[in-house]
Structure 1
Amino acid sequence: MYSALASQGVAVPNGFAVTADAYREALSRDGVADKLHRLLDGIDKSKIRQLAGKAAKAREVIYKAMDTPLLREQIVEAYRQLEREAGIGVAVAVRSSATAEDLPTASFAGQHESFLNVRGPKDLFEACRRCFASIFTDRAISYRIDNGFDHFKVALSVAVMKMIRSDLAASGVVFTLDTETGFRDVVFVTGCYGLGETIVQGQVDPDEFYVHKPTLSQGFRRVLRRRLGAKQIRMIYGKRGSSHATSTRNVPDAERQKFCISDAEVLSLAEIAVRIEAHYSKHAGVSMPMDIEWAKEGVDGKLYIIQARPETVASQRSSDFYETYNLKGHGPVIVNGRAVGEKIASGRTRRISTARDLAAFRPGEILVAPATSPDWEPVMKIAAGIITDKGGRTCHAAIVARELGIPAVVGATHATEKIKSGTDVTICCAEGDMAASIRGRLPSTLPGRQ
């Protein structure tokens, strides 16, 4: 991304990559591949304990295999070069990227590990090894099986990028289409205070902005629509060490009542996003809507792009037809939130607070949680719908719900307090931006495709 976009005037933090060749080399020696085949061949992902046990052993195999003097030397030297440019002990983000990741039809969202605020060569090498090992997280193994990917034909690389001090400012996500309808003439921007992981993890309700592409290209710089989010917490740099690299703080009420970035910054992000979309579309030979992460530097206020990948759900819909769902009935509304998708679903609720609660989940239930985690995806795949206390349309719960084709209500404040397990509810996302969780199972119709 740095080599492709920096030359076009898009600000991208410098860094380096540990290529997938390093991973492939590790598999080719010391019987590593044979050990992995014995663990993974014929694995049944429905047997959760077996999957967890074999996945942990597979990660340990890769973690050990990546510990070579040559790789350590190369990573340390690359980091020293970055220190010469950015200062001793420069903080970096360490992100995994699989060769099958971010394809036009499969996002692999959250399947592999990333680490923030990593400092020093020792901690960096450790983070890189853990990234490589994360190719065999339980959820990544399950995802590859569900999507027909061969475990041994997918490799993993690691990107190391200088951290932007967005902990002192703001960050967020940009889509170059509307995530719910697939409408391609808008740029959808979300933002929050601090590091953007809180948006992705669904820990905050972000600010939202829409910009109209055609009028923007004609020089009319206006934000089409804006919505103030609650922005409950801010993620900041923590103490040194992998377990305390980041921490969260409550955002004062006065700041929550303000948008985290200005209209001028929204428009700048929209222009950058359109430029990125044009670049990757030209490279692909087809229109390529993008999913982009941005960060604002707290020291000088500059906007940076820290990730760009193809959007994998709304852009794949056929433009030849659309589906319309209608709710046939009324009932008391329990909670409201942001609509994800345009469908309606009914079912019995199951409240999930921690991973320990997942074993009780049954197919066809409505998952109710403060937020979702990538580790929950085997359960999300059998849910009829999802309701979360927090989060916006670019959080993990929203992305996975779209990919699975199920409705979700995100940012439904106090949902886990108001909805107990075993409650019959109907999720309605068919009536605009806002969705409702309604008590009882109400009938609905799908008139057909138009």
Structure 2
Amino acid sequence: MTVSSDTLRWFDAIRLEDLPLVGGKNASLGELYQALSAQGILVPNGFVLTARAYDDALRDAGAWPALHALLYGLDTTYIALLAQRAAQARQIVYAATDSAPLREAVAGAYRRLEAQYGAGVPVAVRSSATAEDLPAASFAGQHDSFLNIGGAEAVFDACRHCFASLFTDRAIVYRANNGFDHFKTGLSVGVMKLVRADRAASGVVFTLDTESGFRDVVLITGAWGLGENIVQGTIDPDEFYVHKPSFRQGHRAVLRHVLGGKQLTMGLAPDEGGTATRNVPTPEALRARYCLEDDEILHLAGQAMLIEAHYSERAGHPMPMDIEWAKDADDGRLYIVQARPETVAARKNVAMLESYALKGSGRVLARGRAVGEKIGSGVARIVASRDDLKFFRPGEVLVAPSTNPDWEAVMKTASAIVTDHGGRTCHAAIIARELGVPAVVGTDAATRVLRSGQAVTVSCAGGESGTVYDGAIPFAVSRVDAGLLPRPRTPVMVNLGNPDLAFRTALMPCAGVGLARMEFIIS
């Protein structure tokens, strides 16, 4: 057991109950490290500068009145003023956290990490707010984190930047839109040994199907290099499904493999400040290969199910999870670097059957991965960069190479979202699910095929594949409360011709979903 305090805590002294002190991300890391390491879950060791340290630093520096003055009554739709006030707030926090006690605490803790892992051990420095990874709000991508930081002074500086990122433009807008008080939201900073996934692979695991909410599968996404490309939606990752009941019965096989484009690989590039990240084109030979072998996929699935079982037991009810994994190039092992409750599909009311159906047809402009099951239509607006956001109007269809956390305020007003790149676990997909906006991600060419001002219809009602049609096609919406439907004595099962509909069909009031008839497959 390492020495901890209310200012600095080590992972082995943190549990889920410590969320008010260390934030959602760090509370979960401590829970994983302390409760599940003995069961084979690998979590790199680390320490946390707590929200108490943040509060004390700002109080001692007399920073709170200035922050209140900057943010009181701020209209977050006034983008120029928001940017100005947010920058000033970050400067105040960065200066206030430059305290001797914090500097000494970080230096001492980093020396202990060096004693465990070696001199100059590279670390990840990650923000963790006290109002994140909550059932109603994920706070995905709102605060800053830094990778491959080495040396006590560089680590301390990164910690100060993390504290300051509580007041990024996007975080201020997100809190305002979701009803969180800026001054009742604290921030802690976690420092953990870096997993060298830059020379291996990383990704995300969900312990349910993210679109239908079907809970009998594990969905794993992955790509070469650091996982930020998956989150940002700049690449199309590999996808793998594992069936939980079969896995538990000893029939351990990968249900489905989907080869992603994996267009870029994010690695580490040294710079004057220590390190930075860089994207390079992925070699064709690696693009043609899955980033995980089947035994690794099944290992991750088993770990994900173990984590889900632990969190469900703690919660007293089923708790689907959203988990980050990384493979270390140095030792070849798979590490869990984050686990949080899944915040959207798990809250879906599966008894209320809502279905969307097109009432016409149109020319297909693009196809990709469907996010959600809805249909939306409107005028397309190509947004190639943040500068283009000023042209976007509420009710339009946002079309972009990928999305950014800074765009959340605009995404909230879109009738649909379409991206060139990204998978089911990218930022665009996560935010679209939270907002209930239909999205088609990973189309490859939407920004080249579509044009601003063009009327389009975005349909996610056809299973896992989403489609963008030319023109405004009428559609119908039906809602049925399955809980009110009478059940026959005879078990009624469903036979499908389109396997992409299997997960969502299994949630309907039926006794099961069967294999497609052979004539469907042949024809």
> Scaled by the length of structure 2, what TM-score is found?
0.85
Aligned match of 1:327: 358
Distance 1:325 1:168 in 2: 43
Moved over 6 A (4+): none
Q: Which residue of 1 aligns with 2:493?
A: none
RCO higher in structure (CA 8 A, sep ≥6) = 1
| Structure 2 counterpart of 1:446, from 471, 474, 477 | 477
Greater Cα offset, 247-256 or 356-365: 247-256
- Equivalent-residue separation in structure 1 for 2:158 and 2:114 (angstroms): 17
2:470, 2:275 → 1: CA distance?
41
AA at the equivalent of 2:476? T
Tell me the residue number matched to 1:182: 213
How far apart are 1:241 and its partner, in Å? 4.3
Partner secondary structure for residue 353 of structure 2: coil
How far is the alpha carbon of 1:29 from its aligned partner?
A: 2.6
Residue number in structure 2 paired with 1:408: 439
Q: Which residue of 1 aligns with 2:409?
A: 378
CA distance in 1, matches of 2:108, 2:271: 21
Structure 1 vs Structure 2: percent identity of aligned residues? 58
User: Which shifted more, 340-349 or 413-422?
Assistant: 413-422
In structure 2, the CA distance between the partners of 1:62 and 1:81, relative to structure 1 (3 Å rule), is: same
Matches within 5 A, 1:396-435: 396-435=427-466
Separation in 2, partners of 1:433, 1:441? 22
- Cα displacement (A) at 1:203: 1.1
CA distance in 2, matches of 1:305, 1:67: 31
Q: Give the superposition deviation at 1:299.
A: 2.2
Picking from 242, 249, 255, the partner of 2:286 is: 255
In the alignment, residue 326 of structure 1 is paired with which amino acid? A
- Equivalents in 1 of 2:88, 2:278: separation in Å? 30
- For residues 42-99 of structure 1, the C-alpha deviation after alignment (integer angstroms, 9 at most, x for no partner) is 1111111111111111111111111001101111111111111112221111110100
- Distance 1:241-1:93 versus aligned 2 partners, 3 A rule: farther
Aligned to 1:95: 126
Alignment partners' CA distance in 2, 1:398 and 1:166:
23
Q: 2:196 is matched with which residue?
A: 165
Matched position secondary structure for 1:150: coil
Distance 1:131 1:178 in 2: 32
CA distance in 2, matches of 1:88, 1:311: 37
Residue 251 (structure 2) aligns with? 220
Residues 183-202 of structure 1 aligned to structure 2 (within 5 Å): 183-202=214-233
Shift of 1:26: 2.1
Tell whether 2:36 aligns with 1:43. Answer: no
Cross-structure match for 1:24: 55
Q: Give me the whole-angstrom Cα distance separating, in 2, the residues matched to 1:5 and 1:25.
A: 32
- Kindly tell me: are residues 420 and 244 of structure 1, through their superposed partners in 2, closer, same or farther at Cα, counting changes over 3 Å? farther
Q: Which of these two proteins has the greater Rg computed from alpha carbons?
A: 2
Where in structure 1 are there 5+ consecutive unaligned residues? none
Q: Distance in 2 between matches of 1:365 and 1:420?
A: 12
How many pairs are equivalent? Answer: 450
Distance in 1 between residues matched to 2:101 and 2:407, nearest whole Å: 37
1:64 equivalenced with 2:118 (yes/no): no
Query: Could you say what the CA RMSD is over the residues aligned between the two structures, in angstroms?
Result: 1.2
Q: Deviations over 1:260-311 (max 9, x none)?
A: 1011111100000011111111122221111000001112211100011111
Q: Is the 8 A contact 1:118 1:241 kept in 2?
A: no
* Counterpart residue type for residue 134 of structure 2: L
SS of residue matched to 1:446: strand
Residues 148, 276 of structure 2: 8 Å contact kept = yes
Contact 1:176 1:273 (C-alpha < 8 Å) held by counterparts: yes
**Secondary structure in structure 1 of the residue aligned to 2:478:** coil
Task: Say which SS state the counterpart of residue 82 (structure 1) adopts.
Answer: helix
Q: Equivalent residue of 1:425, what SS?
A: strand
Equivalence for 1:340: 371
Please tell me the residue identity of whatever aligns with 2:154: D
State the secondary structure of the residue aligned to 1:322.
strand
Q: Secondary structure at the match of 1:323?
A: strand
Q: Tell whether the 8 Å contact from 1:123 to 1:241 is kept in structure 2 after alignment.
A: no
Q: Is residue 407–residue 429 contact of structure 1 (8 Å, CA) maintained in 2?
A: yes
Q: Answer whether contact 1:58 1:136 (CA < 8 A) is retained.
A: yes
Aligned pair in 2 of structure 1 residues 105, 230: CA closer, same or farther (>3 Å)?
Answer: same
Other-structure match for 1:290: 321
Indicate which of 342, 345, 356 corresponds to 1:311. Answer: 342
Partners of 1:371 and 1:63 in 2: CA distance: 30
Q: Deviations over 1:330-356 (max 9, x none)?
A: 111111100000000000011111111
Show the counterpart of 2:114: 83
Q: 1:104 deviation in Å? A: 1.3
Question: Which residue identity lines up with residue 149 of structure 1 in the other structure?
Answer: F
Contact 2:412 2:435 in 1 (8 A): yes
Match of 2:157 among 93, 113, 126: 126
2:39 maps to a residue whose letter is: Q
3-state DSSP of counterpart to 2:355 = coil
Asked if the contact 1:323/1:449 (under 8 Å) is kept, the reply is yes
Separation in 1 of the partners of 2:125 and 2:399? 31
Task: Please report how far the alpha carbon of residue 244 of structure 1 lies from its aligned counterpart in structure 2 after TM superposition.
Answer: 5.1
How far apart are the structure 2 equivalents of 1:105 and 1:391?
23
Partner residue in 1 for 2:391: 360
2:133 and 2:139 in contact (8 A); partners too: yes
Distance 1:436 1:242, change over 3 A: farther
Decide whether the 8 Å contact of 1:215 with 1:221 is kept in 2.
Answer: yes
1:135 aligned partner = 166
Quick check: 1:119–1:240 contact (8 Å CA) kept in 2?
no
C-alpha spacing 1:355/1:127, structure 2 compared with 1 (3 Å): same
